[in-house]
Amino acid sequence: MEIVWELDNLEQLGDNKLDVSGRPAVIAGPYGPAIEFDGVGDALFIGTNPLAGLEAFTIELYFRPDEGGLAEQRFLHLGEANGDRVLFETRLTGTGYWYLDTFISSGDSDRALLNEGHLHPVGEWYHLALTCDGRDETNFVNGVEEASGPIDFAPLTGGRASIGVRLNRVCWFKGAIGRIRFTAGVLAPEEFMR
């Protein structure tokens, strides 16, 4: 199973109609079209969760974090608002750098991977990936593993998705997000989208 969301319009992703907050804009990115978010009220909400039912998965996306956003930003949220969920987050240092934070909550198990030791300049495009095989969560920036940790993951049973903010509309993202790919199973870095 593979699902690709091309962020090239503000009406729908595949068969899913978008609920748009604010005034995000479609822009040209280095890997194709992308959507730019203002960090204040721009977001997309989708009434489905592409990870539902998967025992193992890989999520990939292209993104560009911009200076001037909140210190903590949630830019991809899948699952429930506060229950079982998968999150991509970024942390801005206030000195022109950011680091990745990924989070999985599944039943009584959860795992945050804060990559504080891996700083990257804001304003540039990056490929991000998160893999989970049911036992371990691993994240990557530009194909390089940055953090890994154990998680007792059970398949998500439903939920929704948001891009540009957490599902409960806190921690808005300032920057741009391009193509997102969801794959059943764990991909190796050489299999990541280019």
CATH code, 59:
2.60.120.200
- pLDDT higher than 90, residue 14: no
Task: Render pLDDT for 123-166 as a digit per residue (tens, 0 to 9).
Answer: 999 999 999 999 999 999 999 999 999 999 999 998 999 999 99
Task: Round to whole Å and give the CA distance between 89 and 103.
Answer: 8
Residue 165, CB half-sphere, CA atoms under 13 Å: how many?
21
pTM of the model: 0.97
| Domain encompassing residue 114 | 2-191
Task: Render pLDDT for 66-102 as a digit per residue (tens, 0 to 9).
Answer: 999 999 999 999 999 999 999 999 999 999 999 999 9
Domains of the chain: total: 1
> Of 18, 49, 19, 22, which Cα lies nearest the Cα of 36?
22
Amino acid 194: pLDDT: 83
